[in-house]
Amino acid sequence: MRRLSMTPTTLWRLEWARLVRTHQLLALGALFLLLGLCLPILTANLAWLLERSPDTRDLAATLPSATPAEGIAAYTAQIAQLGLLVLIIGAAGPLCPYARNQPASYVWALGRGHRRGRLPALAAIVLPRFLARAAWAVAAFLLGLGGAWYETAVLIGAPDPARLLAGALLGSLYLVWAIAVVAVIGAWASSAAVTASMAVLAVLLTGIAEIVPGAGRAMPTRLIEAPGELLRGAELTSYLPAAGVAVALTAGLVIAASALLDRREL
């Protein structure tokens, strides 16, 4: 007779099991890797593709030669659009714990059973879900960036490894901040669709705020551009204000999400 496991279920185990068993980690990693492998190929062969059509042949003659920075920037540009959209939609459901009644009852019971000081939801509900989704996003981003680095090195030229590594860290910080935005909205909303749509709107508005003189250089949305821009010669110090704001906002948003959840009842 098969013995039943008596190991108590925790939200940490639940979140990692959800990522593995639903194949969400595999699906997002496959998408990011596909973008990382394909976009440098498109960048390297863009002039050749334009030459195939009489309507764009003249435009192809004016294009400069592709550089390693352009190969990496093509990948990060798509992550800031398609990749971020998929990421937010995938994280909206788990980070909106009261979207459905039965899962909400289970999460509420676990959260009340693991109180830790003044912020019980921070340790019991928010942190497992936030950290699992943040790790999910960063792992997929780095996997795709590795693919972009490989294709760029083969087809265009090897990017500077130190600058690429610094850009990878900054881009990862941007994705963690985006997950924190989803977490705080999900703690307030009662629908995964509302959580996803409002999170996308919040990230877009932050990107638009980059045009504000003085404040634009501190917007977290600048960080996703860092891999390509650093390879073009931008200074790392120019991204430090945005990195500092992203770290502070991430911590503040996670604590705010905890406070909102701690005040909610079924």
Which pLDDT score, from 0 to 100, does residue 4 have? 44
Assigned token pair, 92:
């909206």
Assigned token pair, 15:
């979140």
As a whole number of angstroms, the distance between CA 132 and CA 167 comes to 22
Which pLDDT score, from 0 to 100, does residue 217 have? 86
Cβ(166)–Cβ(145) below 8 Å: no
Instruction: Tell me which of 77-86, 99-108, 171-180 is least confident.
Output: 99-108
Give CA angle at 65 (45, 140), nearest 5°. Answer: 55
As a whole number of angstroms, the distance between CA 43 and CA 85 comes to 22
User: How crowded is residue 204: how many other Cβ atoms within 10 Å of its Cβ?
Assistant: 12
Instruction: Tell me which of 7-11, 36-40, 163-167 is least confident.
Output: 7-11
Residue 16: alpha-carbon gap to chain centroid: 17
**112 pLDDT band (50/70/90 cuts)?**
low
Dump pLDDT digits (tens) for 191-224: 889 999 999 999 999 988 888 877 778 999 999 9
Query: Model's pTM, two decimal places?
Result: 0.86
As a whole number of angstroms, the distance between CA 17 and CA 135 comes to 14
Where are the chain's structural domains?
Answer: 34-262
Output phi, psi for 23, to 5 deg.
60, 25
Query: What percentage of the chain carries pLDDT values higher than 90?
Result: 52
**85 pLDDT band (50/70/90 cuts)?**
very high
- Angle, to 10 degrees, between the axis of helix 240-262 and the axis of helix 127-155? 150
As a whole number of angstroms, the distance between CA 164 and CA 154 comes to 16
Mean pLDDT (whole number) for 119-134: 75
Of the ranges 27-41, 92-106, 249-263, which is most confident?
Answer: 27-41
